[in-house]
Amino acid sequence: MDGTAPGHPEGPYVLNLTRETWNEHLDRASTWLANVVTTQAAFRQALEIAVPKVEEPNIRRFLSEMLDRAQRHEEVAHRLPRVLGREAADGARSLAGTVMDVARKALDTVEGLAGGARGNWKDLHHLLLLNLDAMGAFAIAEQLGLALAHAELRDLAWAVEAEKSTDQLILQELMLEMAAVAILYGEKV
């Protein structure tokens, strides 16, 4: 039998699901997603600056492979607003233009834990922070995918988040492995 009822004369209620409301949600989300591009581009460019300076062959290989992934992740970051039917916000493009400065400043001036250490070991620490920032941005994109009931957005963001989580472990490991010789002996990476 067909158990479908004729329905309430005024129709069912929908919560925040009208086109107007939903479009507002999508606009807000896609505007925020510019941050994913910005943070990921900063990380990628910091890697581009850091890799040529690395002399230790194993670390250079680890970081070169990470750079390949970072370029791929940045392409995904650009796709995120598009899966919501939006173009990347203008702000993202203009922000991306300043990313190089951000990355260079991060590598050249941020002291933090690396303060006082000589050589390029401190680059590893800075990459750790920049990757954390970008990884968090992808994780937030995943949350937006879940909140917007949008599996494609969620899946794209989560897949990158998972790879960047592994990259974070690698960066931490490299930074810690080289910490003692960088601080005590002033060795370069």
Partner 1 sequence: MLPRMSRASLEELKALPTPVRPRLDAADVWVPDGYDVEPVVAGLSFPCAICFDADGTMFVAEGGSTWPTRPYMTPRIWRMSPGQDPEVFAVENLGGPRGMSVRDGYLYVSVKGGYHMRVTRHDLRTKERVVLVDELPSGGWHEPGGPVFGPHDGLMYFSNGSVALQGVVVPEGFTVDLAKHPHAHDVPGQDVTLTGNTVWARDPRLPFPFYAESGPFQPFGTAVTKGQVVKGQLKCNSAVWRSKPDGSDLELLAWGIRNPFGLAFGEDGHLYATDNDFEEKGERAVGEDPDRIWRIRNAQLPPGEVKEPEWFGYPDLCGDGLPLWHEKHLPIRGKAAEPFLADPPPWAGPAAYLFEPHTALGKLAFSRSDEFGHRGKAFVCQFGTYAPLNSNREKYLRNGFQVVTVDFEAGTHEPFMRNRAGGPASATPGSGGLERPVDCAFHPDGRSLYVLDFGNNTANKSYVVAYAHTGVVWRITKR
Contacts 24+ apart (CB under 8 A), 65-70: 66/167, 66/170, 66/171, 69/163, 69/164, 69/167, 70/40, 70/43, 70/44, 70/167
User: 22 or 71, CB closer to partner 1?
Assistant: 22
Q: How far is the CB of 120 from partner 1 (least distance, A)?
A: 23
Q: How far is the CB of 53 from partner 1 (least distance, A)?
A: 26
**What size, in residues, is the chain?**
189
User: 1 or 184, CB closer to partner 1?
Assistant: 1
CA–CA gap between residue 33 and residue 80 (Å, rounded): 7
User: 28 or 61, CB closer to partner 1?
Assistant: 28
User: 67 or 138, CB closer to partner 1?
Assistant: 138
User: 111 or 162, CB closer to partner 1?
Assistant: 162
Q: How far is the CB of 10 from partner 1 (least distance, A)?
A: 5
Do 121 and 178 touch, CB atoms closer than 8 A? Answer: yes
Residues that bind partner 1 (CB under 8 A): 1-8, 10-19, 21-22, 24, 143, 146-152, 154, 172
Q: How far is the CB of 132 from partner 1 (least distance, A)?
A: 14
User: Exposed (0-12), middle (13-18) or buried (19+): which is 8, by Cβ within 10 Å?
Assistant: exposed
Q: How far is the CB of 64 from partner 1 (least distance, A)?
A: 25
Helices 19-32 & 34-50 angle (0-180, nearest 10): 20
